[in-house]
Amino acid sequence: MVDENNTTSENTDTSGDDAGQVTEQAGNTQDDTTPPAPAFGDNWRESLSAGNEDYTKTLSTIQSPEEMVKKLHNQEQLIRSGEHKAYAMPTSESTDDQKQAYREKVGAGLTSDDYAGALPDGVVLEESDRGFFDHLAKSASDNYVPKDAFVDMFGSYNDYVSDFIVKRDETDAEQKRATDGALQEEWRGDYKANNNIIDTMFAKMDDNLVEQIKTARDSNDSLLIDNPDFKKMLLGMQLEANPIVPIPQGASNAFDVETELQGLLALSNTNPDKYGLPETQKRLSELYAYKTRDSK
């Protein structure tokens, strides 16, 4: 006989097993849609460097742990292949052939002309720059600096010098305007005459010495010739060595002095009485003093 209760019980147990399987399958399906936990946290650089500043600096250039693994693998392959040795800088024990091979590999020059030949078209070395360039090129050659890198460095230096010269010229012009304004205020009507006295002093000096004086700079990198105190010193030196007789009052220039002098001298014939007056003789003395000033 068949036990209907047992049959029902078995069927019920089967249903329970099926339900468990469905539940388990449902659970597995839910786990598949959940993203895996990251192998490293956001602070993976700090964890790996363990406080070492050099490690931290190196890791800061790497974007992810995966990239780090790739770089490590590539370096390992490079070492195993021996290719890295081809880029090792020669030492004092290296042969000339090894040194030359390395130069060719990295594009370094051997002589100053090698580096000069790498300069862009249109760039011409001035004779005054050649000594500095040769010195710099020798250092670059001794250290196997690639020619393109040297050209970039030399161009950067030239840009700096050009910018420096432009700014210094602007400062010099501003200083000259300030000095001229200060001396015009102080010397007033004698401004042009005093400058002429200084120029006359320079005209009697050796050209090389004049050039040195006019290009000399003080501790602030300002031209001495545009320092008001320096110009007043030059004026004082010239006046002390060659006292200046001023143009007599009433005359504007040497022509006026000569014209008036000849007129007064003529009085000795045309009007002796006026010629003999004290004021006439005093005026003649003033005019003669000015006329003969350069012969003293």
Average pLDDT for 8-31: 48
Which tokens is 106 given? 């990295």
Average pLDDT for 123-144: 91
Q: Is the dihedral of CA 9, 12, 14, 20 positive or negative?
A: negative
> Which has more confidence, 38 or 210?
210
Give the model's pLDDT for residue 4. Answer: 46
> Which has more confidence, 27 or 123?
123
Mean of per-residue pLDDT scores for the chain:
82
Alpha-carbon span 142 to 138, nearest angstrom: 6
Alpha-carbon span 217 to 222, nearest angstrom: 5
Domain parsing of the chain, residue ranges: 1-34, 44-86, 95-145, 164-241, 254-295
Q: What secondary structure does DSSP assign to 67-120, as a single string?
A: HHHHHHHHHHHHHHHTGGGGGSPP-TTS-HHHHHHHHHHHTB-SSHHHHHTTSP
The burial class, CB within 10 Å (0-12 / 13-18 / 19+), for 125 is: middle
Give the model's pLDDT for residue 45. Answer: 87
Whether residue 207 is predicted with pLDDT greater than 50 in this model: the reply is: yes
Alpha-carbon span 9 to 5, nearest angstrom: 6
Give the model's pLDDT for residue 37. Answer: 52
- Quick one: pLDDT band at residue 11, thresholds 50, 70, 90? very low
Give the model's pLDDT for residue 133. Answer: 93
Q: Is the dihedral of CA 73, 76, 81, 85 positive or negative?
A: positive
Give the model's pLDDT for residue 146. Answer: 95
Alpha-carbon span 290 to 10, nearest angstrom: 148
Which tokens is 210 given? 């004049």
The burial class, CB within 10 Å (0-12 / 13-18 / 19+), for 198 is: middle
pLDDT in tens, 54-67: 888 888 888 888 88
Q: In what helix (H) or strand (E) does residue 291 lie, and over which residues does it extend?
A: helix 278-291
Q: Is the dihedral of CA 152, 154, 157, 163 positive or negative?
A: negative
The residue with tokens 């890198």 is 149
Q: What percent of the chain has pLDDT over 70?
A: 81
> Which has more confidence, 42 or 276?
276
The Cα-based distances of 236 to 154, 233, 242, 277, 290 in angstroms read 47, 5, 10, 37, 20
Alpha-carbon span 145 to 152, nearest angstrom: 11
- For the stretch 218-227, what's the b/e string if a residue is b when 16 or more beta carbons lie within 10 angstroms of its beta carbon? eeeebbbbbb
Average pLDDT for 75-93: 75
- Quick one: pLDDT band at residue 2, thresholds 50, 70, 90? very low
- For the stretch 271-288, what's the b/e string if a residue is b when 16 or more beta carbons lie within 10 angstroms of its beta carbon? eeeebeeeebeebbebbe
Give the model's pLDDT for residue 293. Answer: 64
Amino acid identity of residue 66, one-letter, is: E
| Cβ–Cβ < 8 Å for 257, 251 | yes
> Which has more confidence, 47 or 27?
47
Whether residue 218 is predicted with pLDDT greater than 90 in this model: the reply is: yes
Alpha-carbon span 163 to 182, nearest angstrom: 29
pLDDT in tens, 152-179: 999 999 899 999 999 999 999 999 999 9
> Which has more confidence, 225 or 248?
225
Average pLDDT for 268-281: 91
Give the model's pLDDT for residue 22. Answer: 45
Q: What percent of the chain has pLDDT over 90?
A: 39
**Short-list 184, 178, 188, 263, CA closest to 223:** 178
Give the model's pLDDT for residue 148. Answer: 94
- Quick one: pLDDT band at residue 230, thresholds 50, 70, 90? very high
Whether residue 225 is predicted with pLDDT greater than 70 in this model: the reply is: yes
> Which has more confidence, 167 or 17?
167
Instruction: Quote the pTM value.
Output: 0.49
- Quick one: pLDDT band at residue 84, thresholds 50, 70, 90? low
